[in-house]
Amino acid sequence: MRNQDSSTLLFRRIYGDHFEDLFVYAKAILKSTDMAKDAVEEVFVNLWESGMDLSKIKEIKAYLLVSVRNECYKLAYKASNFDELSDVGNLTNIDKVTPEEVIIEKELLAVINQAVAALPDQCRLVFEMSRNQQMSYREISVELGISTSVVGTQITRAIRSIQEKVENHFGDEGYRSHLASFINVLVALV
């Protein structure tokens, strides 16, 4: 029988330490925020209800990643039977998304967010209106009272600045090797 207090604390720590990475991994597989959240939550519910001694799992992150991958298969299969999942398509995405890619994309997103925060005010505002609010150049120019060419210039400057920060963070070789992930993260901001 497990000690209730220590196992609860361990479970909470594991949940806190790994939920975000698992969610990003599931979302990369399923292409659905809601389904990804459901998959990760289901893994944690099953883990808790199993009463398993979590301290005996040597590689908890690997265990959780495999569990999430399996849960994604289940959810995608159920959804395909009920036509609930239009974005999953075929399940080849599951084999192509590695835990390393999830971690790299998470790190890239953090670097990008820091770079965006460091942009000059107007440049940051224009970039965020374009990426976060999905506003067109024309809509931004009307909203801010600037020309569309200024909007384009500001977005170009923002992307160059972000790219420079990513290159500095990963180094030239690291940047090239993670370029696809960088592009995926930038596209996800659109």
Between 24 and 1, the more confident residue is: 24
Q: Is 184 exposed, middle or buried (0-12, 13-18, 19+ CB in 10 A)?
A: middle
Longest dimension (CA), the chain: 69
* Least confident interval from 97-106, 131-140, 157-166: 97-106
Give long-range contacts, CB 8 A cutoff, 24+ apart: 58-62.
60/14, 60/18, 61/18, 61/21, 61/99, 62/99
Locus of tokens 């990369």 = 28
pTM, two decimals, is 0.47
The C-alpha atoms of residue 168 and residue 51 are separated, in whole angstroms, by: 46
Helix or strand or coil: residue 87?
coil
Measured CA to CA, the distance from residue 182 to residue 186 in angstroms comes to 6
**Ramachandran class of 135: left when φ > 0, alpha when ψ lies in -120 to 50, beta otherwise:** beta
pLDDT digits (tens, 9 = 90+) for 33-65: 899 999 999 999 988 888 877 777 778 888 888
Count the Cβ atoms, other than its own, within 10 Å of residue 33: 11
pLDDT (tens digit per residue) in 137-148: 999 999 999 999
For the chain, count helices (H), then strands (E): 9, 0
Domain ranges of the chain: 4-96, 99-188
Say which DSSP state 97 is in.
-
Question: Predicted confidence band at 84 (pLDDT cuts at 50, 70, 90)?
Answer: very low
Q: How far apart are CA 6 and CA 43, in angstroms?
A: 20
Q: Assess if CATH 3.30.300.30 describes domain 99-188.
A: no
